[in-house]
Amino acid sequence: MKRSVITVVGKDKIGIIAKVCTYLANNSINILDISQTIIQDFFNMMMIVDTSKSPKKFDEIAEELDQIGSEIGVIIKTQHEDIFNKMHRI
Amino acid sequence: MINIHEVIETNKMIEQENLDVRTITLGINLLDCAGTDLSEVNQRIYEKITRVAKDLVSAGNRIQREFGIPIVNKRISVTPISLIGASCCKTVEDYVTIAETLDRAAHEVGVNFIGGYSALVTKAMTASDELLIKSIPKALQCTESVCSSVNVGSTKTGIDMDAVKLLGEIILETARLTKDRDSIGCAKLVVFCNAPDDMPFMAGAFHGITEGDAVINVGVSGPGVVKKALESVRGADFETLCETIKRTAFKITRVGQLVAQESSKILGVPFGIVDLSLAPTPAVGDSIADILEEIGLEYAGAPGTTAALALLNDQVKKGGVMASSFVGGLSGAFIPVSEDQGMINAVEAGALTLEKLEAMTCVCSVGLDMIAIPGDTKASTISGIIADEMAIGMVNQKTTAVRIIPVIGKNVGERVEFGGLLGHAPIMRVNDFACDNFINRGGRIPAPIHSFKN
């Protein structure tokens, strides 16, 4: 299973999660975990997703999510989960 | 599973605190390119470097995209060229053709620096070592990406003072030949004692003869991350301070280890080491001096600086060692002047002198680094500075280095601008009492007594 972490940071507004989840569903990307918090008035959301069933490559997914982010005025980053596991788990 | 706060912490380090991987350096063995025909040797060197390193830059870019961690530099180090050119180079000009070949190959594969235009003198110069050293000024004048280093001593062998004397002259000559660019040639020339074979950082990187055919070495960075972590423990005791540095160094190094493993996998080249060094850049907030200030000093250079740097260096090692399967290179804190805005501020405020920097090099991972001095400094004075620094390395069984830039046409009070990662620097005052009679003696300083451990 290839797991990636999607983070969404920006000003809170209606429909951010809907927009991201629609994209994930349309591209056969499964959401394994989702959580959100507000830090200094900024909306922070993190999703752990499984991209192994998606027909699209990692780069393509990352780029398209970035594009959706700029359309709705938030920053969407997609990263392989390993960087977080390595840093925070022994 | 990873939680949102851990994800936010990592991304904050990258986005706001300048966490990056400073360099992925691909070491390439060129011993099999040696021969008696110069043009054939040049051809083989070009062919091997462009073949082995052809995917280096794209691999770095791919890792950067997938993990979201900036990989600032992709670089190459090669076997010391004095070994490769020994049988085919009869003149200084012959050696310079190899420098030009290295430059072309680096340009072709898209790396910004290639290190290894080097000689491992250590005890005494061979004829080819001496010829290569004499070709350094010309080689650095007519190439852009080539970096040069000379190891002139070690704890086991002592210091070759003939090479130290020669290098004082060579550094001045390099400064003169590149004076139209603020003597920038000298920023690409390092004089070492106890040079490590596997260091990924420029300008001193070379692929040592103890290494395999090709190897991936990674240099991490992150002074900004350490500084930020220390802000949260202001006023706390030394135990808390040290624990915080150690924990932060662990996290930084884990990223380096991940990048090293990934690049090794993509390129099909074995992973060598992670160099734990905290490497500053001229960017605001990416400074070792800022960490020293956060520890409690008004400026780097104030009394207490050497102790603060000693504990910083030690905690970085302690935290980093457990985070990586192989640690090597210099691994500690770098204290270049021109590449660290906090150091520059300290020099300009009058808090930091050359002598204090020398004391600091006793306890950190490198030496006198990126220090601009007046262009009319005598060659023997430069040799004296080198000899002092080499002695510190030899006696303390550690690597020390000198990368000093006599800026032709400039004097104390003026500034010099190198640009990019090399930064800018105020010209520092040099003690100009003479040491000619010491440098002119010739010969070798014997190895210290504690080196005889057999």
pLDDT digits (tens, 9 = 90+) for B396-428: 999 999 999 999 999 999 999 988 878 889 999
Q: Which of A83, A85, A89, A90 to mutate to test the interface with B (most CBs of B within 10 A)?
A: A83
Using a CB-CB cut-off of 8 Å, the residues of chain A touching B3 are 35, 46
Whether pLDDT at B339 is above 70 = yes
Beta carbons within 8 Å of A43's beta carbon, 6+ residues apart: A8, A9, A10, A11, A12, A13, A16, A36, A74
A28 at B interface, C-beta within 8 A: no
What pLDDT is stored for residue B222 in this prediction? 86
Topology (CATH level 3) of domain A3-87: Alpha-Beta Plaits (3.30.70)
Q: Which residue of A has its CA nearest to B322?
A: A90
> What pTM value is reported for the model?
0.94
A39–B6 C-beta distance less than 8 A? no
Which residues of chain A have a CB within 8 Å of the CB of B11?
7, 77
Element (H, E) at B105: helix B92-109
Which residues are A74's β-sheet partners? A10
| pLDDT (mean) for B64-80 | 95
- What are the tens digits of pLDDT across the range B352-401? 999 999 999 999 978 999 999 999 999 999 999 999 999 999 999 999 99
Give residue for tokens 């499964």: A30
**Quick check: A83 and B6 CB within 8 A?**
no
**A3-10, strands of its sheet edge to edge:** A30-39, A42-50, A3-10, A74-80
Average pLDDT, chain B: 95
pLDDT value at A1 more than 70: no
> Which letter does DSSP use for residue B429 in this model?
P
- Whether residue B6 and residue A84 make contact (CB cut-off 8 A), yes or no, is yes
Give residue ranges of B with CB < 8 Å to any A CB.
1-11, 65-69, 251, 254-255, 257-258
Give B94's pLDDT tier (boundaries 50, 70, 90). very high
A40 touches B at CB < 8 Å: no
pLDDT, mean of residues A27-36: 94
Q: Is B160 helix (H, G, I), strand (E, B) or coil?
A: strand
Instruction: For residue B12, give the chain A residue with the closest CA.
Output: A9
pLDDT band at B1 (very low <50, low <70, confident <90, very high): confident
ipTM: 0.91
Residue for token pair 């250079």 = B301
Distances (CA, A) of B293 to B284, B312, B345: 14, 12, 12
Domain extent listing, chain A: 3-87
**For chains A and B, what is the number of CB pairs under 8 angstroms?**
63
